A = this chain, B = another copy of it.
Amino acid sequence: MPDATALTEPPIPSSPAGEVPVQLLTPEGERVSHPEYDVDLTDEEYRGLYRDLVLVRRIDIEATALQRQGELGIWAALLGQEAAQVGSGRAMREKDFAFPTYREHGVAWCRGVDPLELLGLFRGVSNGGWDPQEKRFQLYTIVIGSQTLHATGYAMGVQKDGAVGPQADGSEGEAVIAYFGDGASSQGDVNEAFVWASVYNAPVVFFCQNNQWGISTPTDHQTRIPLYRRAEGFGFPGVRVDGNDVLASYAVTRKALDDARQGQGPTLVEAFTYRMGAHTTSDDPTRYRLASELEAWKLKDPLERMKSFLYKQQIADADFFAELDADADALAARLRAGCLQMTDPAPSAMFDRVYAETTPLLQEQQAAFEAYSAGFADAGAVH
């Protein structure tokens, strides 16, 4: 029996070589061109994207603060990932459908989900509160990778409905987007989703935010080659985009979604980005990563580069930025107030809607629970 020291370290190869991601905006805010991808937005649209970035970050910061003050149980910050989420979120067309993880606050924003619903979830008053059909944005999925199969199944349904390709209403059909992380790429479910999507040529885009970390686990523990290349093994295209570049994220996702809706099947988009915050408010990243890494990524901040771009191109002026700040303040104030006012659901609600058609046993438990609770209320009144 060899002794402990004789064990060789498993030779985990060093971080995957950084193949050049699609970029349309440098960290310094210079517009650059790419042979395959471009965006052609109006000034208003450019400002709109920046506005989204700022508001989404503000939501995130306010939520983090609320957690610190004990108003939320936990919060999973998107700090640093705003561009990947806003770019891809805005690339969706109205009928497209998104399947998020637990960190897609920016996408939720683009789909019109009230951020208060997100706060409610992390506060523990609900497990998601919006109507997924109405928002065309599924509930958050916490079990890593599961939603990629749901997205694929949904896309198969789109296909069965004949909603791929040119439609009677003149549109080009519907597409689906599944969000997941670098860590999730290791899950069986995600790879099964790749199998299904490619075999059925389903209109689904797999959008992987590679933020370099899965809690404390670096991406080189999940793959030894760049993640976008995973798609090759399943026979569909993969592309790496600069996830801190909202324009590139928009362009690449838009193209992938349009390909899907036109019947060209799935694409894997790897948005190369960085989780600037902790995994969640419960996490302490100083235990596993160097401050210098964060500093390096700060120079690539998705908001800063868009701001520089707007300034340099004179697309926005100081008034715009001031007004936006004020809007962000107002939004934050609304969220704070809304969060503090949030009421807990009625306890007995936990028995409701377990099923579409409830069961006698559950009704019995609910009745017993209510009687018991009422007894307490009475007892309380007497004392």
Where the two chains meet, the residues of A that have a C-beta atom closer than 8 Å to any C-beta of B are 2, 6-8, 10-13, 156, 159-162, 164, 185-189, 191-192, 195, 198-201, 220-225, 229-236, 263
The 9 closest A-B pairs by CB, nearest first: A188-B188, A233-B233, A225-B235, A191-B191, A230-B233, A224-B235, A10-B200, A186-B195, A7-B160
| CA A309 to CA B12, docked complex, whole Å | 45
Task: Say whether A192 contacts B188, CB under 8 Å.
Answer: yes
Known A191-B192, A223-B234, A233-B234; 6 more pairs at CB < 8 Å: A7-B162, A8-B159, A12-B200, A12-B201, A187-B188, A224-B234
CB closest residue in chain B, given A200: B10
Task: Say whether B162 contacts A6, CB under 8 Å.
Answer: yes
- Residues on the B chain within 8 Å of A10, using CB: 156, 159-160, 200-201
Task: Say whether A199 contacts B225, CB under 8 Å.
Answer: no
Copies of the polypeptide in the assembly: 2
- Residues on the B chain within 8 Å of A220, using CB: 199
- Residues on the B chain within 8 Å of A156, using CB: 10
A132 to chain B, nearest CB (A): 19
| CA A13 to CA B162, docked complex, whole Å | 17
| CA A57 to CA B146, docked complex, whole Å | 43
| CA A232 to CA B223, docked complex, whole Å | 12
Given B2, B224, B232, B263, which contacts A229 in the complex, CB threshold below 8 Å? B232
A168 to chain B, nearest CB (A): 12
| CA A233 to CA B235, docked complex, whole Å | 9
| CA A235 to CA B15, docked complex, whole Å | 13
Among A2, A186, A188, residue most surrounded by chain B Cβ atoms (within 10 Å): A188
| CA A10 to CA B155, docked complex, whole Å | 11
| CA A235 to CA B232, docked complex, whole Å | 10
In the assembled complex, 14 residue pairs joining A and B whose CB atoms fall closer than 8 Å, in A order, are A2-B161, A6-B161, A7-B160, A7-B161, A8-B160, A10-B156, A10-B160, A11-B159, A188-B192, A191-B191, A198-B223, A224-B234, A229-B233, A230-B233
- Residues on the B chain within 8 Å of A199, using CB: 12, 220-224
Contacts A156-B10, A162-B2 known; A223 to B201 CB distance under 8 Å?
A: no
| CA A263 to CA B8, docked complex, whole Å | 12
| CA A7 to CA B163, docked complex, whole Å | 10
